[in-house]
Structure 1
Amino acid sequence: MLRSMYSGVSGMKGFQTKLDVIGNNIANVNTTGFKSSRVMFKDILSQMSAGATAPTDGPTGGSNAKQIGLGVSIGSIDTLHLAGSAMTTNNPTDLRIDGDGFFAVALESGAEVGNTFLTRAGDFHVDGAGNLVNSDGLFVLNTGGEAINVPQGSSFQISSDGTVAIKNAEGEVDTENRIAVVVVRNPEGLEKAGGNLYRVGQNALGIDAEISLDPDDESNAGAGGIVAGQLEMSNVDLTDQFTEMITAQRGFQANSRIITTSDEVLQEVVNLKR
């Protein structure tokens, strides 16, 4: 079978994956805190047709190797953690991180660090029990790993360093909590868990390292401040996505043409018997 046919098949599979990623990016163009992805290709190991020869002192010089490529494969699918644009809502529980940090949320208050999810989506709410939660009911954690609770009849104000000042009916500050903002060394190593959440993957942190909720920990340097009344929107650029879509479509068509041409050549070989 012609090698070109297999190369064309690998190209079609690669561009199909690229179109899948582009489609997901476009679908999430209005998703709060969404980070777009991109597909990077790499060539498959080439077959050696003739090896290289070294130059000599004789009448001939060296020659280069002759290699035939065997197609393409997916090199990586990267998540681009670039900041999205800010949208002003004036809702006091809508928060945006002006920096590289992530909010920490969990299914239960006091959850272990390993059971904590990270998110850039700050569309939070106060539930019926007075807890600050995300849209799926996960608790927004403070720097102590506990849920942030606003007692009934109290008001609150969130400052730029994430401090939640809870005031009583007389307007006096009763308690203060500080929202945890976490920095990850390699944010591309985070794994998407759905619901605008990220799970800390094996390549997100250093060896034997864990995320820290302590704002004074040196690992959280550059976390950034919190802006109340704003949300971070998706960082998907439709212009780039549609351009990449056209490129992927043409690449898919070109590879399908390779398969068609290879099939025609094989048909000619079969017809030699006639």
Structure 2
Amino acid sequence: MRDSLYVALSSQIALERRLDTIADNVANASTIGFRATGVKFEDVVSGTGQKSVSFASPGKTYLSGAHGALSETGNPFDFAVQGDAWFAIETPVGTVMTRDGRFSMNENGELMSLEGHPVLDAGGSPIQLDPRNGPPKAGADGSLRQNDQLVGSIGLYNFDPGPNFVRYGNSGIVPARTPEPVTDRADIGVAQGFLEESNVNPVL
């Protein structure tokens, strides 16, 4: 009797976690750069032989690796990552990974995220532009030019979010370990004037 109650309770906990995850994903179906959360459940067996009982695990979360669709905006300060990489921004909690490329240039020429955080280059430093020279032109490799002069490059990074990752804002992820800058950009790059939409599938 006790085992049957434990099985029912474990199943209820697993169901609630799944529903919470679905609700959060649906709420962010229109969030630029959002990567959906998934939950993987496994049966946990207690006991041996005929006395063994199978419980539902509470589940492990993982970050979906599927890419969202690219939407053209024509805004020279909008950027989308092409391939498996992330932008890096500097926040009060440290470096945060994001696929949200809604950037802007402040009065000092710093390239900033939508929330006002500095966007980082491959060396982990804030990107500095010349505010007198207008929007930069970005190459597919992330290089930035103003008046045909190279002024910087948008950093692209790889990292493993792992299970039970921590979100920052709606689309940011706080890396558990130091992210690695992408050195081979043969299949990874930047699209200027585009944004990546949420990768949430609204059809449940």
Tell me the TM-score normalized by structure 2: 0.88
Q: Does 1:166 align with 2:146?
A: yes
Closer, same or farther: CA 187–100 of 1 in aligned 2, 3 Å: farther
Task: Identify which range, 191-200 or 32-41, moves more after superposition.
Answer: 191-200
Q: Work out whether residues 13 and 58 of structure 2, in 8 Å CA contact, stay in contact via their aligned partners in 1.
A: no
Q: Any idea what SS the aligned residue of 2:57 has?
A: strand
| Offset at residue 234 of structure 1 (A) | 0.6
| Offset at residue 142 of structure 1 (A) | 1.7
The whole-number CA distance in structure 2 between the counterparts of 1:201 and 1:191 is 8
Give the structure 2 partner of residue 237 of structure 1: 201
| Offset at residue 9 of structure 1 (A) | 1.4
Gapped regions of structure 1 (runs ≥ 5): 49-64, 109-113, 168-172, 203-209, 243-274
Q: Work out whether residues 97 and 173 of structure 2, in 8 Å CA contact, stay in contact via their aligned partners in 1.
A: yes
Equivalent in 169, 172, 192 of residue 228 of structure 1:
192
Give the structure 1 partner of residue 180 of structure 2: 212
The whole-number CA distance in structure 1 between the counterparts of 2:22 and 2:186 is 30
The whole-number CA distance in structure 2 between the counterparts of 1:144 and 1:2 is 57
Q: Map Cα deviations across residues 198-233 of structure 1 (whole Å, 9 max, x no partner).
A: 12215xxxxxxx4333x53xxx56661100010011
Gapped regions of structure 2 (runs ≥ 5): none
| Offset at residue 238 of structure 1 (A) | 1.3
Closer, same or farther: CA 96–9 of 1 in aligned 2, 3 Å: same
Equivalent in 176, 182, 185 of residue 151 of structure 2:
176
The whole-number CA distance in structure 2 between the counterparts of 1:107 and 1:76 is 27
| Offset at residue 96 of structure 1 (A) | 0.6
Question: CA RMSD of the aligned region, Å?
Answer: 2.2
Q: Does 1:141 align with 2:120?
A: yes
Give the structure 1 partner of residue 6 of structure 2: 6
Closer, same or farther: CA 39–212 of 1 in aligned 2, 3 Å: closer
The whole-number CA distance in structure 2 between the counterparts of 1:178 and 1:143 is 7
| Offset at residue 82 of structure 1 (A) | 1.1
| Offset at residue 137 of structure 1 (A) | 0.9
Q: Any idea what SS the aligned residue of 2:42 has?
A: strand
Give the structure 2 partner of residue 252 of structure 1: none
Give the structure 1 partner of residue 75 of structure 2: 91
Give the structure 2 partner of residue 31 of structure 1: 31
Give the structure 2 partner of residue 66 of structure 1: 50
Give the structure 1 partner of residue 168 of structure 2: 193
Structure with max Cα Rg: 1
Q: Work out whether residues 44 and 71 of structure 1, in 8 Å CA contact, stay in contact via their aligned partners in 2.
A: yes
Instruction: Select the structure that is richer in helix.
Output: 1
Give the structure 1 partner of residue 65 of structure 2: 81
The whole-number CA distance in structure 2 between the counterparts of 1:86 and 1:188 is 25
Q: Work out whether residues 99 and 222 of structure 1, in 8 Å CA contact, stay in contact via their aligned partners in 2.
A: no
Q: Work out whether residues 161 and 176 of structure 2, in 8 Å CA contact, stay in contact via their aligned partners in 1.
A: no
Q: Work out whether residues 142 and 154 of structure 2, in 8 Å CA contact, stay in contact via their aligned partners in 1.
A: yes
The whole-number CA distance in structure 2 between the counterparts of 1:194 and 1:152 is 28
The whole-number CA distance in structure 1 between the counterparts of 2:38 and 2:180 is 29
| Offset at residue 26 of structure 1 (A) | 0.3
Instruction: Select the structure that is richer in strand.
Output: 2
Closer, same or farther: CA 151–74 of 1 in aligned 2, 3 Å: same
Give the structure 2 partner of residue 46 of structure 1: 46
Tell me the TM-score normalized by structure 1: 0.67
